[in-house]
């Protein structure tokens, strides 16, 4: 992977994290850096999952891949927020 691919993956991960946080209702007890980290992980895992399902490369915008990534980010944000609330 080239450096431009890594940078774009990080930027997309940030966007995915923010969208995932917006999907989760209520107040989340995690900071911005945790949101970004969850988004980056969700972007990479979501891309791998979409590739395994065969929906990663489509004509035009990969909407299914985006939905998988956002769902993973939302689940990650909710889980991390719950763990932080228990402390």
CA distance 53 to 55: 6
pLDDT at res. 1: 57
The position carrying tokens 């999907």 is: 23
pLDDT at res. 62: 81
Across residues 43-62, what is the average pLDDT? 85
pLDDT at res. 70: 92
Lowest mean pLDDT, pick from 8-12, 38-42, 74-78: 8-12
CA distances in angstroms from 14 to 30, 42, 72, 74, listed in the order given:
15, 10, 13, 13
């Amino acid at each position: 992977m080239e450096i431009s691919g890594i940078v774009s993956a990080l930027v997309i991960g940030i966007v995915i994290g923010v969208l995932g946080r917006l999907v989760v209702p209520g107040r989340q007890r995690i900071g911005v850096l945790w949101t970004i980290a969850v988004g980056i992980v969700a972007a990479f895992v979501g891309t791998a999952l979409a590739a395994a399902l065969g929906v990663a490369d489509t004509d035009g915008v990969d909407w299914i891949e985006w939905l998988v990534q956002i769902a993973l980010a939302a689940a990650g944000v909710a889980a991390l927020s719950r763990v932080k609330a228990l402390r």
